[in-house]
Structure formats: structure tokens, C-alpha cells
Structure 1
Amino acid sequence: MEFFKSLKIVPRWLIILIDAVIISHAAFFAYFVRFNFQLGTIDRFQFLPSVMIFTVLAVMAMLISKSYVGIVRHTGTGDLSNMMKMLFVTNVLLWSVKLANSTFGLYDSTLFLPFSVALIASTLAFPLMIGYRLMVKEIFYYMNNRYKKPNRKVAIYGAGEAGILTFNALKNTSDSEWIPVAFIDDDLGKEGKLIEGKRIFYSVEGLKKAVDKLGVQEVVIAINSLSIARQREIIDACLDLGLPSKIIPPAKDWFETGLKSKDIRDVRIEDLLSREEINLGNNHVVDSIKDKIVLVTGAAGSIGSELSRQLLRCEPAQLLMLDQAESALYELEQELSKVSLNVSREVLIGDVRNKKKMQEFFEKYRPEMVFHAAAYKHVPLMESFPDEAVKCNILGTKVIADLSHTYGVEKFVMVSTDKAVNPTNVMGASKRIAEMYVQALDKHLTNEGKQGHTKYITTRFGNVLGSNGSVIPLFKKQLMNGGPLTITHPEITRYFMTIPEACQLVLEAGVMGNGGEIYVFDMGKPVKILDLAKKMIKLSGKKLGEDIEIEFTGLRPGEKLYEELLNNYEVVLGTHHPKIKIAQVLSQDYLKVKDQVDAFKELLQMGDEEVLVSHLKILVPEFISNASRFSKLDKEDRLVN
């Protein structure tokens, strides 16, 4: 036993030696089987020399087929195939030698095994060679695990091919924390059957039985073709039973290298989205962006950085990444340098509010497409500093939009937010005015009959899961610190989408847009933040009310209970994709909007925040402040230009 424990990999020479011994003994016994243990008949053959020659031919076949190269403790179906190939080659070699001998009459034919004996020997040797490999595999498993503390008992949800691969990955990894004890499957026909000696239970009802009978402590979901809805149901069932759950990655991520226990990840809150993930299948996006010079503003942010990653895969002629956050921008560049060396990339440090600096960049690089993601987005902070929201979100957008027209950019795609709809805060109002300006500019250029003018497009979506400053990272941090989880109101809801989904919309809009559109996603139903918090607590393995608490802090300045993707007066039109809509927004006069936006420059110099916010309310009449110090302005006469 200690010998096997000391060996991490059985030497190849030892495998050849053991296989040779097995084959020689199989050939020896095959004589007796073939001639019904009649020694007189066997004496007609040169018994021992023929066995030795057959064994030598088998060793030659091993070298040809490389049947000895497999790692014994990872024996699988591939090794069975190699054993069969080796035995086939052995018999082919025997036939060739006998044919040559009969042709040239070199030796007595009794020196060689009869074909019938060789076939019986091969049949006997095959299970013996496989059997000892499986025995060694079990010894390795036993020796590696006998001194370990009891591992966590795991049920594998999925009794198909992915489930079996997961079972092997967990069992064959020496440092694995888990030991699989059962399978769960939604196929009723598999109930009660065994895989690898482990019972299959039916559906989530069977999961509870596995917990009661076998003491299952954790679940690994191992079904590649699982719908999001069914995945959510399984995870919810695990949460109700107090079971931590994990999930295997998509098969494409491990198909070539094989599934390993380290690839199995914890279930994330993104896995509990209440809808199927939106996937546009945007192959045409690649064709539209390939070989173009593309500028991304706000490239160091959550959306901007993912946009840069996805744009890189489109192989633009040059990718320009602009931001004022130099540390985050440096980290992004270091990440992308490992992904692709074929696309020219430039990191640009600058503030979109600095028109002179931005003009220098446009003059030097001449971008053909602009994705404008630079913005201040935190509602409470912008409520405290409305001047910064105006400078960045409105005037900064105007700078980039105007320069895009001046330097002949083909398309300008702006990232907006659902907070721009019926805004209750400064941030939302500033983004709505940015929308108004780029739409009005597009209409103005179209009406003037400008040939090939820049097409201005807006994308509008809800909260992005996991983005900087969003509720998910906040809850994770609070969970790590032992709580409490803070929620502003028990009834507050939000729309959610993943960062990759949001960026798909932005890229898709950049391709399909003809100018002036506001694109919105069908984002399903809004999510109640309280429900989100409860699920995150369960996912962390903690119990609400025992290990961690939830506290309600009251709505923050400018915050509203629910958000919308459309104003009351907006209607939507369909597109070629059922998940993408176009919001038809009331048109604005460009010269009037431009004058109103330019007026912010003088108001900023005055330094009066109430005057500044009042002007926001003039441009966006539906902007009614909520739980804010600016609420009083809604009851007073607003400034008139």
C-alpha cells in the first residue's frame, strides 16, 4: 500500500511489464481452454516458446499503439479503446509472422500460437489488463483520501454525460473537498437506477430524500442544456433546503482540457435572473466594426471596459480607450494585452469636459465610431453635487457629440439609463437632457440634408449586475463584514441585466441604428431588492435573522421605488430582434435645446445649485425631485429664459 501511495504516476516500464505478464499468462491458459485441457494435444505445439513469441509481439504492439501512456489512476473509456487496438495489432503481427514463415519456410510452424489460441488469449487478457488498472485507480483514491477529514457529501444534479464527467472530476481530484454520493435527474425513467454505484433520485423532490437518507450537504448542477428558468427553480429548491449549490461552466470552456473540480464555481446571483439571458447572436456586428477606428469614452468603467473587451473581438483597425481614471485604465490595458496583440490599442487619459484636449484626440486619431459611456451615475452623489452631473453628463456629452460631427464620425452611440425616464433625481435628469441633445442634433443634421452626417443613437437600460457601485457588490461586502444588509425601502424594485448583455445592446445599436433612435431592451420583470438580498444571504450559507440582518434605511435623495424604461407619452416600435425596441420620443428643436444646454455654462459660473437644478426642471418638465433638498423647487415658479 505504501508503495502505491509513494507513486504519483505508475512508471510506463512497469505498465508494459505488467501487461506483458498478463498476456503471457493469458496465452498459457488459452492453450488449455482451446484444447479442453488435453495435454496430449497440447504437446504437439512448442508450448513455452510460442507463448514467449506471442508476448514479444504483444510488447511490440504496445510500442506501436502506445497503450502504456495513459495515467493509470485516471483510467477511462479511452484506455479501453487503446487496449483493444493493442490486442488487434498483436494478432495482426502474429498473422504477418506466420504468413512470412509459411512462405519462406524458416521455422517450424509449431513455434507460433494457433490463431484460435491467440484469440482466446486476447479475450482473456483484455479484462485482466483493464481490471488491474481499475484496481490501481481505486487504491490511489483510497490512499489519497483515507487520512482526510470527511469530505462534504455532494449530490450531482444531472445524470447525463456532464453529470458523469462531474462525478469523475470530483472523485479523481486528490485535493477535492467533495465526495459525490448521489445523482439527481429530471428524467423519471432514471429514478432508482445506479451510476458509478450511486443512486439516481428524481427531481427536486428526490433531492430532499437524498438529504434525509444520505446526508447530502451540497449540490452541483451539471446539466449543459438547462434553461435559466429551470436552473433558477433548482437553485431555489437548494436554498429552501439550506444547501449551498455550485454549477459547472459551459462545455465549450472545458471541452478540450476536460472538466476539473477547480472549474466548478459557486452559484452567483446572476444565475438567479428572472429571465433567459438575452443573446443577440450579433455576428453582423463584427463585420460592421472590423477594420474601423473605434473610440470608447469612460473605458475604465464597468460598461466601458466590457465594451472594450467585446470590441477587441471585432478586430477594429484601432481601439481608443479614453478615461480620466488612470489606474483602472492601466489595469484594463494590461488585461487586454494578454488577449490580443493583433489590434492596435491606445490608452487616452483625459476628461470629456475638456474640449481642447478632446479636440486634440479627434484630430490625431480620427475615430470612425464613438461609444460614449463616460458619465457620473451615482444618484445620491449627483444630488449632492449637481454641478458635476451637469458638467460631465450634459456638457461632456455635448463636447463629444459635437466633435463627432466636426470630424466626420460615422456613428455616435450614447449609453443612457432608465433613470432618465420620469427622472426624480439630478443624475437621471442630466442623462435625459443628454439624450435630448444628441437626438435633436441628429434631427437637425438630417433636416439640413447633410450627406453622410454622423448618426446619433442612444441606448437605454436598467441596472447592471455587478457594476461598480451597484447593489450586488455592496451586498457582498456587507455579507463579508457580517452585515447588516442595508435596503432603502422594502418595496423598492429595479430592472437588472448583466454587463455583457448591456454591451451587446450598445454594439447592436451601433450597427442597426440609422440615427435619432433610443433603443431599449425587453428586460422582463423588475426585481424586488428585498428578495435579491434574501437570496444572496441564502447563497452565502447564512440565515436571515440568525447570522445576518436586513435594515431599511429610507429612500436616499432622488431615489424612487420603481424605475421605468419609457415615459407615459413614449411608445415603442419593434425591430428585427424581439428583445430590442425603439422608444419614440417627442422631437425637440435643436437650436432651442442647444441654447438651453449652453445656458448651463453661465449658470455654473453663478454657483447657485438651486438655480442650476431649476434649469434642469425647465428642460425636463417631468423631473420631479423625490426625497431631495430640491423638492421645494417643484412647488415654486421655475426660471424662465
Structure 2
Amino acid sequence: MEHLIFQNHQFLQKYFNSLYQNFLNLRNKYLIIFDCAIFAITPLFALLLSLDGQTRLETYISELGKITIFFLIVKITILYKLRFYKLYWRYASIEELINIILSMGIILVVQMLIFYNCDLLPFSNIAELPPSFPLIDGLFSCILVSGVRFSIRILDRISQNYTVSTLQERVLIVGAGNAGISLVEEMQRNPQLGFNPIAFIDDDPQKLHVKIRGIPVVGDHYTIPESVQSLQIHKVIIAMPSVAGTVIREIVDICKAKGIQTSTLPGIHEILNGRVRVDSIRDVRIEDLLRREPIQTDIERVLQFLKGKVVLITGAGGSIGSELCRQICKCRPAQMILIGHGENSVFNIQQELEQLIKILQEDSKDQLHTPEIYTFIGDIRCRDRLKQAFEKCRPDVIFHAAAHKHVPLMELNSSEAITNNVLGTKNLLDMALQYNVQHFVMISTDKAVKPTNVMGASKRVAEMLVLQAARQSGKPYLAVRFGNVLGSRGSVVPTFKKQIAAGGPVTVTHPDICRYFMTIPEAVQLVLQAVVLGRSGEVLMLNMGKPVKIVDLAEELIRLSGYEVDKDIEIIFTGLRPGEKLFEELFIEGEEYNPTEHEKLFVVKNASCIIPEDLNINVVALCQAAAINDANYISFLLKKIVIGYQPKSLDNSNLLPLTKNDDYIKKSAENGLAKLGLQNA
């Protein structure tokens, strides 16, 4: 008997669960039936309320029947024309509620116009109905239609709360702004993700003790320790993508002191199209701790500038080049030409851009302005390969990010630094001038300022070539300088991470060494801003903020990795490497720095005036020296060309003085032009 009762109970439970799920997934064709039923009974309720018991209902039965049928046809027709039955109601929100109100408002206006002009209808006796009848009918219809739709949403919410498992992580969300609320909404919609949002933390006193999406705001970030304990929190998620790194650091320190697991959303520039998703949650990184105040960028101006243009990016597979590709792709250029030497890195960014284009198409439903992607595996030192790319695509804008950037390696391989950074840039500029490219932006470095290394000096020569081309053509060709980029290949952060993963030690060259840092998205965003602000023959310099001590960076990374400095992971100092200096400088003697429209960008308006008259012939000699791998003569020539270049060691006792009439230079030019494909000045 008990077995039969249990079976019947299971059967009923499955039956009601099935009915419940069917209701949650109720299709619009069934909702039309519900609406017809609602519109059939609301006139009756409206009439009863209008009469207020003063007149017998039987008096209006005939008129009520006629107007009910007529109004029902009108309502269903209007809703159908407004595509009301194309909406999905399980995830209904404020937008759907506004849609209901607007649709029913239109119906109400139409009903009242019909009612008060009923003499035009074949059954004009409906004028005997009370004057308030159409208004009350419209209000009743709106309430009941909304009630049916949002009961689906409410039941879905109840179901989610009921199915919350004790295995889910109890989450404290730090930040009750748009990002935090979006995060909670997705967690509530998808309980299978394993997150159970318990409370918000927010420093805005106006939000304290209010409920958002049913979740209370329990205090500011100083109350995190007691909130974690009292609410039995398993995890803290920092949902403030636009807040400064100092705030992130403080919250992380509070959570670490309590031993609570901490995650975060990426910075606002890393979130595609500003969309916040649960799968965006990641561990706190050093980039988050060094994050600065959000950059106010004129995105619309950049978008309008790049939209529909043919854009070429060199070094497209690199850290800066690939991020340029991502952000430029969102601006809907007509074509993007990706030039890179590494086939794997170029292939990866090509695949990523194709996925990004699909997302952009889904978001906008616009198939007309998605860029075509062309990839060229090639070296910018090869003029013939560059010519093939220019001949095929005819670019309007060039972003030149290809370069050798590793300081110690370039000290040991100075010929490579010259051929890639100098000869490659000259080849690209020659093609740009030949094919009438309208805009040219070169990515430079703060190491080009008073350089002590070959890499910085070679980039300074490349800057001069860009400025010279700008002066010759009158076109907006410019260079943009910025410092170290967090997380770029070969930079200090990936190196430290590998050392920490290996158990240490972490190697720092000097306890006092400092560098300027930016995140990759921040740097690229400012580069794109520079292209619309820069004029011909200018150098733009990004405001890098305050310099960061490398040893502090190492200590933060060790702590973020869950270790203690000098207890679990040791830091050792190895001494400055060849070409390295303690502090990077930002100003070149003779350059005049002025503010621009953008607070994070400065411009060197007189940059093109600080170019040696004999630059071209010196560059020919420099490239000839690189071709025969004469490191000593390369250093001598760089010192001649670049103001402030102070190489660590230079043996020039056997070198001839360099002048425009020097026989050596003439001979180098004659031999070198044919061999290297350089144009004579």
C-alpha cells in the first residue's frame, strides 16, 4: 500500500513538474489564447466597476456583447501588428514591461477614439455604455496581460531559488553598480553556474541597506571581514571594472587578511562591448592592482575615423599589434591587413577576429560593415613582400607596431635592431608615400628618450624617419611614445610568473629600478585616440602616471600567487643588464611638450624640427653597417644621429669622422642602396 502511495506521489510530482516546465516555456501562440480570454472578460469587469451597482447589468448585455467582440478583434490586431507575440517572456525585464505598457497604451487610445465616435459604427447603441467604460477596460487588460507574462518570470525566479544547491558557492559581490547587477542577474538566471549571490558591498551610502534584485547591500568595503563571517561567504567577486587599482589593492588586502578567495571582473577596456558575463570572472592580476582611473576616450570620433577605411597593422600577432586589431575591428573598417612574421601568432589573431566579427554581427544585426581580413606572413625588411600587400589592398591608415623591443637581446644583436626597427620602418614609409597612404602611426617607446641602449636609439631613428616623411608629404604621419606594457611578450610580468611557478627565486636587476607601466588595452586605446588628435610631423606621448618600482611589482605578484615574499619565494638582485638604466626619462632636450584635447596625451609640436639634415645618408650607412654586422660602427653612427644617446661602451678610436662628404659614406651609399633597396635622399 505504501509502495503504491509512493508511486502515485512520484507520478503526481512528475506530472506537476511537467506542467510547470511547460508553463515556463509557454509559446506565444498559447499566450494569444490567454489574451483572448482576458479580453473577453475585462469588458464585463469594466462595466461592473463603471455601474458601481447603481444600474442592473441586464440593461447593457446586448451592447456589452457587441463591444467585447469588437474590442477583442482590435486588441489582438494591434498587438500582432506591434510584433508583441515575437517576445520571449521567461526572462522578461523592465524593457518587456515598457513594451506592454506602450502597446496597451496604444490600444487604450484606439478604444477611446472608437468609443467616443461610435456613431460611425453599425452598432451605435454602444454609446449607452458608461463613459468610463473604455478606460477601465484598457487598464484591466494591461494589468492582466502583464500579470500572465510576468507570472512566468516570477515562477522561473522561484524555481531558481528552490533549486539553489548547498554545493553552490556563497558569493559576496563588491560593487552594486551596473557590472555587479548584471553579474547577479546572470547568476540568478543560471544557477547551474554554481554561484549563489548572497549580498552586495558598495561604498555608496545611498545604497546601504537597500535590496537590488532581492540581494541586500550590507555595507562598504571595510565591512567585508564581518560580512564574510556572518554570511558564511565562500568567495568575494570584485565587480568594479572601472575603479582605480588602489581600490582593488585595498580590497584584495582585506580579503587576504581574512583568507577568503577573491576574483574580479576585467577592466572596462577588456570587456567586449561593455558586456559583463560570469565567464569574465577571473583571478586578480597585477594589471588590476596597477589599474588607473578609466580613460575618457572619444570612442565615437575614433569609430567614425576608422569606419569604412582600409587599415594595415604591422606586427599584428604581437601584444600591441593584436590588441590594435581587436579594437580596430570594433570600429568597422572596410578591410584589415594583418602583417606579421610569426605565422602562429598571426593565425591566432585572425581566428580571434573572425569570432569577434560574428559577435558584432549578432549584436548589431548589421551585415554591411564588417571588415574583410587579409593576412600577410612577411618581414617588413622585405620591400617586395610589402609591395605585394600594398598593391593588393591600398591601405588608408597604417599602424606600425612591428619592432624588436628586448633591450639586453638587442645589445647583443644590434644589427637585428637596426634592420628591423630602422630599415623596416623606412621600407614601410617608402611604401606609404608611394601608395599615398593618408595616415601613419608608429608605436614608439619611452626608451627612445636619451637612450642608453641600441633598441631605444633605433626606435628614435625610426621616429625621425616618420617625422621626415610627414614633413615631405604634409600628411598626418606621427609617432606615439609610451612605456612598458603589462603582460606583453618578453616583459617583466610573464618572466616573474614563470619564475614563481618554478618555485623561485624571482630575479630583479636592481632594488631601485623603476619603470612606467600601462595595460595593453589602455595603451592601444590611447594610440587610437592619438590618430584622430595628431597632426603632421608630431610625436605624441602618453601620460604614463607614476613610475612603479620593479621590486614592488615582484612582491605583489608573489602575494597574488598565494606565497609569502622571502619565505616561500625569494627575490634576488642580479645587477643592471647591458643598455639598462635605473629610471626612464620622458623628455628630449629641445622638444616642446604641450597638452592636447585629451588629458592623457601630450604632443611634441616641434618634433619634426629636431631632425639631422643628413639623416637619410646616415641611415644608409647605419643599415650598411648592420648588413655587415659591425656592432661598433652601429654604435658610433647611432651616437652621431641620436641626441643624448650614451652607449655603455664604444671603441671609436679607429673610426673616421662622419660628414656628408665623407668618402666612406659615399661609398656605403652607392653600394648599400642597391643591396638594401633604400631610396637615395
TM (norm. structure 1) is 0.73
What CA deviation, in whole Å up to 9, does each residue of 1:259-299 have, x standing for no partner?
65445565554444453344442655566666665543333
Query: Contact 1:141–1:174 at 8 Å: present in 2 too?
Result: yes
Q: Trace 1:392-471 onto structure 2 (pairs within 5 A).
A: 392-405=420-433, 409-439=437-467, 441-442=468-469, 452=473, 456-471=477-492
| 2:204 is the alignment partner of 1:184 | no
Q: 1:573 aligns with which of 588, 593, 612?
A: 593
Match of 2:265 in 1: 247
1:351: Cα distance to partner?
2.3
- Residue by residue over 1:381-426, the C-alpha shift from the partner in whole angstroms, topping out at 9 and shown as x without a partner, is 2122222112212233333334545555555433221112222322
Q: 1:116 to 1:476 in 2, by over 3 A?
A: same
Moved more, 15-24 or 316-325: 15-24
Distance 1:493 1:70, change over 3 A: same
Residue by residue over 1:545-580, the C-alpha shift from the partner in whole angstroms, topping out at 9 and shown as x without a partner, is 49962533524333333222223x244331432422
2:360 is aligned to none
Contact 2:40 2:68 survives alignment (8 Å): yes
**Are 1:145 and 2:173 counterparts?**
no
SS of residue matched to 1:603: helix
Q: Return the offset for 1:119.
A: 11
Q: CA deviation at 1:376?
A: 1.0
Q: Confirm or deny: 8 A CA contact 2:92 2:150 kept in the other structure.
A: no
Structure 2 residue aligned with 1:374: 402
Quickly say closer, same or farther: Cα 1:248–1:596, change in 2 above 3 A: closer
Q: Superposed, which structure 2 residues align to 1:623-634 within 5 Å?
A: 623-625=645-647, 631=648, 633-634=649-650
Are 1:347 and 2:347 counterparts? no
What is residue 628 of structure 1 aligned with on the other side?
none
How far apart in 2 are the matches of 1:222 and 1:44? 62
Percent of aligned pairs sharing the same letter: 34
SS in 2 for 1:201: coil
Structure-2 residue corresponding to 1:299: 316
- Matched-pair contact (CA < 8 Å) for 2:221–2:251: yes
Q: Deviations over 1:88-125 (max 9, x none)?
A: 9899999999x99x997999x9xxxx999989998997
Structure-2 change in CA distance of 1:274 and 1:150 (3 Å): closer
Amino acid at match of 1:204: H
Question: SS at 1:430's partner residue?
Answer: helix
Closer, same or farther in 2 for the Cα pair 1:529/1:23, shift >3 Å? farther
Q: Distance in 1 between matches of 2:328 and 2:411?
A: 33
Does the Cα contact within 8 Å between 1:155 and 1:216 map onto a contact in 2?
A: no
Instruction: Output aligned runs, 1:579-594, within 5 Å.
Output: 579-582=601-604, 584=606, 587-591=610-614, 593-594=615-616
Bigger drift between 410-419 and 127-136 goes to: 127-136
Match of 2:155 in 1: 136
Distance 1:195 1:618 in 2: 66
**What is the DSSP-based 3-state SS (H/G/I as helix, E as strand, rest coil) of the residue aligned with 1:561?**
coil
Tell whether 2:545 aligns with 1:528. no
Once the two structures are superposed, the pairs formed by residues 331-346 of structure 1 within 5 Å of their partners are 331-337=348-354, 339=357, 343=371, 346=374
Q: Which residue of 1 aligns with 2:250?
A: 236
Q: Which runs of 5+ in 2 are unaligned?
A: 1-12, 358-367, 658-681
The one-letter amino acid paired with 1:140 is: S
The letter of the residue matching 2:569 is: E
User: Relative to 1, partners in 2 of residues 1:344 and 1:123: Cα closer, same or farther, differing over 3 Å?
Assistant: closer
Instruction: Summarize the Cα distance change of 1:62–1:171 in structure 2 as closer, same or farther, 3 Å threshold.
Output: farther
Query: Is there any run of 5+ residues in structure 1 with no aligned partner, and where?
Result: 626-630
In the alignment, residue 155 of structure 2 is paired with which amino acid? Answer: V
CA apart distance, 1:211: 1.9
3-state SS, counterpart of residue 183 of structure 1: strand
Q: Is the 8 A contact 1:153 1:215 kept in 2?
A: no
Matched, 1:551 2:571: yes
What is the RMSD computed on CA atoms of the aligned residues?
Answer: 5.4
Task: Note the alpha carbon deviations across 1:433-474, whole angstroms, 9 max, x for none.
Answer: 3334444x45xx95xxx6x45665322111223333323444
Mark the CA change 1:25 to 1:233 in structure 2 (over 3 Å): closer, same or farther. same
Q: Which amino acid aligns with 1:145?
A: V
Structure 1 residues 500 and 209 mapped into 2: Cα distance closer, same or farther (>3 Å)? same
Aligned partners of 2:204, 2:330: CA distance in 1, in Å? 39
Q: 1:330 to 1:341 in 2, by over 3 A?
A: farther
Matched with 1:613 is 635
Amino acid at match of 1:396: G
Mapped pair 1:276 → 2:290:
no
Contact 2:167 2:194 in 1 (8 A): no
* Whole-angstrom distance in 1 between the partners of 2:87 and 2:436: 62
Residue 321, structure 1, aligned to residue 338, structure 2: yes
How many angstroms does 1:172 deviate by? 2.4
The 1:432/1:214 distance shift into structure 2, 3 A limit, reads same
Q: 1:168 matched to which residue of 2?
A: 185
Q: For 1:357-368, what aligned pairs fall within 5 Å after superposition?
A: 357-358=385-386
Contact 1:73–1:140 under 8 Å retained in 2 = no
1:435, 1:105 → 2: CA distance?
Answer: 85
Inter-CA distance 602–69: structure 2 relative to 1 (3 Å threshold) = closer
- Partners in 2 of 1:329 and 1:357 — Cα distance? 16
Say whether the 8 Å CA contact 1:312–1:343 is kept in structure 2: yes
Q: Does the CA contact (< 8 Å) of 2:172 and 2:236 recur in 1?
A: yes
In the aligned structure 2, how far is the partner of 1:277 from the partner of 1:197? 30
Q: Which residue of 2 aligns with 1:519?
A: 540
Classify the secondary structure of the residue corresponding to 2:409: helix
Aligned-partner SS, 1:207:
helix
Cα distance between partner residues in 2 of 1:123 and 1:296: 55
C-alpha contact 1:217 1:244 (8 A) present in aligned 2: no
Assess, with a 3 A threshold, how the Cα gap between structure 1 residues 178 and 588 changes in structure 2: closer, same or farther.
Answer: same
Query: Aligned equivalents of 2:394 and 2:68: distance in 1?
Result: 76
Seen in structure 2, the aligned counterparts of structure 1 residues 278 and 21 have a Cα distance that, compared at 3 Å, is closer
Partner Cα separation in structure 2 for residue 266 and residue 337 of structure 1 = 27
Matched AA of 2:195: W
In structure 2, distance between residues paired with 1:119 and 1:455: 62
Check whether the contact 1:624–1:634 (CA below 8 A) recurs between aligned residues: no
What whole-Å deviation, never above 9, does each CA across 1:304-358 have from its counterpart, x for those lacking one? 3344455556666654433332333344444445638765654333322234544
**Worse overlay, 182-191 or 14-23:** 14-23
Equivalent residue number for residue 595 of structure 1: 617
